[in-house]
């Protein structure tokens, strides 16, 4: 992923944009999006296809949207955090990244599996990646790509395997490559430029080799996508010329211009690789994340109203052609500039790319610069926590935008100045299904076989033949399914790859009706199942509140950590003891006054507090229970049973007011009616 030029301050466009969204984004897209969000099969099966257009959808809860983050392995940017970690440590780190994606309501990850002409799987073509063990060619002791696929699919995340096509090394010394490295065996395949080694895109054997190396992963692993980044021919540096004149003389054919020939070399790779991927596994998506500018309108009337580096001319990436020819399933341009940025304004480029993909069937996914948010030295716009969120408001103006991908995972986790949290709160309040591809038939509708209340929620099971499933919950006892129930994600409860699901968020009071739809590998959705209504059960209530939930609150003195594997969810909160009142609170909706068991969960460590005060807001006054957090971590521990009043309020707090030393931990609380 490339960095981008930065100058100029924000213009008043943000105010105009907000006004436009108020007038247009909440009315026009609502009327036009319902027909696209509801599959034809869904409307027809409900016997009311004409009703689909009448559904008013909420642009804040789109049903279809790719939400992903890039997990970079080159130079250990994201994962593994450093070379030489044990197998268990590497795997724990990856699980934490995937859990982060789930906690941010993402539905895909793009993990770099071929960063520098090496492999994160036992490839017969290329050596093991040095970023695993510190030594290129050294077996890490397990199959990372197989592990990625299994763990991502266990969380119902799409796994897009990310390949860098031409880069061999971030240095120019071939002797540092393994002796059997193809770039050493075939020295004529490579060239050095700007202190780095690259495969020569103009050699047909090189193109075939790169495709074969990628197709090995496609054929052997159950990946959901093949993803290429923006590194094609090297980004230009002053005073250097790409050393491929001899190659041009040999393979240039009828080309009179070396630039046209170079673009053709890249085009051939894109066209051929996409064709091979779809021939092997038609459901695997093929996407590319090019530099955000194709050409400037000052150079080409078809270009964007920008004045930055032109990837068509600089790195010979004719990304517009790839879309127009339908060689890719999605294009994810790296629009790494802020709204109102003079040389390359975000809103200018989203409009331009939307126009490029319109009518092509290619999905537009925007590459977002999470790495800029809250970083010292960036433009003032990036110090605004709402910048990224405003990007997604701009996206709502363009129905062609099918989602976003964030660079990179460590910046999503860092959540500097709360920029990611603001975005998730405004735009990812509900789950979303990945965009559908293909024109074939959707799967048959599932049949719900069981829907019962348990002590932990409503347990569902169903029969179906799908690759994954969407679970919907509608309030009340519904006699028949209204197509508008499924027009957006307001009623979308969750997605899963299993045929069972427990709804732990259903309150004990009130009836709910559940529906399940099946999705195939192309993410085409079936008609919904017949609804199953679950009625009141006054004795059954249990709720878990995690520290990552909106109902958890804490001051800025509470830090966030994912250090311990005993944590509940993606992370937990910690703070040092003080002689002052600064509790972290877990808020819950207690359905009725009565007796409830209160349990807590926390990781344990010798450095944690031996007498952490838990406050229970019991009927009649607060009760304090001290818990030794040095032991018994990673399990539910009962604080006792308490009489609680009905209502939504702060039920359990973790106090910092203790005379004992060591961090106090706030992780998760479970409240169960007894």
If one compares 29 and 573, the residue with the highest pLDDT of the two is 573
According to the 3-state scheme, what is the secondary structure of 73-84?
A: CHHHCCCCCCCC
- Separation CA 213–CA 228 (nearest Å): 13
Write the pLDDT tens digit of every residue in 45-97: 333 333 445 899 999 999 999 999 999 999 999 999 999 999 999 999 999 99
Q: How far apart are CA 312 and CA 316, in angstroms?
A: 5
Confidence of residue 17 (pLDDT cuts 50, 70, 90): very low
pLDDT at residue 36 is higher than 50:
no
Check pLDDT > 90 for residue 27. no
Cβ-contact 89, 415 below 8 angstroms: no
Those residues whose C-beta lies under 8 Å from the C-beta of residue 440, and which sit 6 or more positions away, are 520, 522, 524
pLDDT over threshold 60, residue 511: yes
Encode 441-460 in three state secondary structure: CCCCCCEEEEEEEECCEEEE
The token duo for 627 is 């818990």
DSSP 458-473: EEEEEE---SEEEEEE
pLDDT for 24: 29
- Note the pLDDT of residue 320: 98
Domains located in the chain, CATH noted: 447-540 (2.60.40.10), 543-673 (2.60.120.260)
- Tell me, yes or no, if the pTM score tops 0.85: no
Q: What is the pLDDT of residues 314-371, one digit of tens each?
A: 999 999 999 999 999 999 999 999 999 999 999 999 999 999 999 999 999 999 999 9
Specify the pLDDT at position 538: 52
Q: What would the mean pLDDT of 278-291 be, rounded to a whole number?
A: 98
Would you state the pLDDT for residue 476? Answer: 85
Q: What is the pLDDT of residue 41?
A: 35
The backbone torsions φ and ψ at residue 646, rounded to the nearest 5 degrees and listed phi first, read -75, 150
For 562-609, what is each residue's pLDDT tens digit?
999 999 988 999 999 999 889 999 999 998 888 899 999 999 999 999
Q: Give percent above pLDDT 70 in the chain.
A: 91
Sign of the torsion angle spanned by Cα atoms 281, 493, 499, 44: negative
Sheet holding 190-193, edge to edge: 167-169, 196-199, 190-193
Looking at residues 428-453, what average pLDDT do you find? 93
Residue 367: how many other CB atoms lie within 10 Å: 25
Place 31 in a pLDDT band, splitting at 50, 70 and 90.
Answer: very low
**What's the pLDDT at 11?**
34
């Amino acid at each position: 992923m490339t960095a981008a030029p930065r100058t100029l301050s924000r213009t008043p466009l943000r105010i105009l944009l907000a006004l436009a969204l108020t007038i247009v984004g909440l009315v026009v897209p609502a009327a036009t999006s319902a027909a696209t969000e509801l599959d034809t099969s869904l409307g027809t099966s409900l016997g009311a296809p004409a009703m689909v257009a009448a559904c008013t959808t909420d642009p804040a809860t789109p049903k279809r949207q790719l939400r992903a983050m890039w997990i970079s392995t080159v130079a250990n940017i994201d994962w593994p955090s450093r070379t030489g970690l044990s197998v268990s440590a590497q795997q724990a780190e990856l699980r934490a990244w995937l859990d982060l994606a789930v906690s941010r309501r993402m539905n895909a990850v793009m993990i770099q599996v071929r960063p520098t002409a090496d492999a994160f799987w036992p490839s017969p073509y290329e050596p093991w990646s040095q970023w695993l063990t510190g030594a290129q060619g050294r077996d890490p002791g397990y199959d990372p790509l197989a592990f990625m696929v299994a763990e991502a699919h266990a969380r119902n995340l799409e796994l897009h395997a990310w390949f860098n096509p031409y880069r061999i090394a971030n240095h120019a010394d071939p002797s540092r490559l393994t002796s059997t490295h193809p770039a050493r065996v075939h020295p004529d395949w490579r060239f050095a430029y700007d202190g780095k080694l690259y495969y020569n895109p103009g050699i047909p054997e090189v193109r075939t080799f790169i495709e074969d190396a990628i197709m090995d992963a496609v054929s052997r692993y159950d990946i959901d996508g093949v993803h290429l980044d923006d590194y094609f021919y090297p980004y230009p540096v002053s005073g250097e010329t790409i050393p491929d004149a001899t190659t041009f003389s040999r393979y240039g054919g009828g080309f009179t211009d070396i630039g046209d020939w170079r673009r053709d070399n890249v085009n051939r790779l894109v066209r051929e690789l996409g064709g091979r991927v779809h021939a092997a596994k038609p459901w695997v998506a093929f996407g590319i994340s090019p530099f955000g500018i194709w050409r400037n309108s000052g150079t080409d009337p078809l270009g964007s109203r920008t004045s930055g580096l032109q990837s068509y001319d600089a790195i010979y990436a004719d990304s517009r052609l790839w879309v127009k020819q339908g060689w890719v399933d999605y294009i994810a341009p790296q629009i790494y500039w802020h709204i109102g940025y003079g040389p390359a304004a975000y809103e200018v480029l989203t409009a331009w790319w939307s126009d490029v993909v319109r009518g092509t069937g290619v999905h537009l996914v925007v590459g977002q610069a999470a790495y800029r948010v809250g970083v010292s030295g960036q433009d003032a716009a990036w110090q605004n926590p709402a910048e990224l969120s405003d990007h997604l408001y701009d996206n709502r103006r363009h129905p062609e935008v099918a989602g976003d991908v964030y660079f990179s995972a460590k910046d999503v986790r860092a959540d500097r100045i709360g920029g990611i949290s603001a975005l998730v709160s405004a735009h990812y309040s509900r789950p979303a299904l990945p965009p559908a591809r293909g024109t074939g038939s959707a799967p048959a509708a599932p049949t719900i076989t069981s829907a019962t209340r348990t002590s932990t929620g409503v347990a569902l099971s169903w029969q179906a033949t799908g690759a994954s499933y969407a679970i919907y919950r509608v309030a009340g006892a519904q006699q028949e399914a209204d197509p508008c129930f499924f027009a957006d994600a307001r009623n979308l409860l969750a997605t899963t790859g299993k045929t069972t699901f427990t709804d732990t968020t259903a309150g004990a009071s009130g009836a709910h009706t559940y529906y399940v739809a099946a999705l195939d590998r192309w993410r085409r959705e079936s008609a919904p199942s017949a609804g199953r209504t679950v009625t009141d059960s006054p004795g059954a209530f249990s709720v878990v509140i995690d520290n990552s939930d909106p109902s958890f609150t804490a001051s800025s003195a509470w830090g966030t950590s994912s250090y311990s594997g005993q944590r509940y969810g993606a992370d937990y909160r910690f703070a040092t003891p003080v002689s002052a009142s600064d509790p972290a609170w877990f808020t819950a909706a207690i359905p009725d006054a009565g007796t409830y068991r209160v349990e807590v969960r926390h990781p344990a460590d010798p450095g944690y507090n031996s007498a952490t005060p838990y406050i229970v807001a019991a009927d009649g006054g607060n009760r304090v229970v001290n818990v030794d957090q040095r032991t018994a971590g990673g399990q539910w521990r009962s604080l006792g049973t308490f009489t609680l009043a009905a209502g939504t309020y702060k039920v359990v707090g973790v106090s910092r007011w203790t005379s004992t030393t060591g961090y106090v931990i706030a992780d998760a609380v479970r409240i169960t009616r007894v």
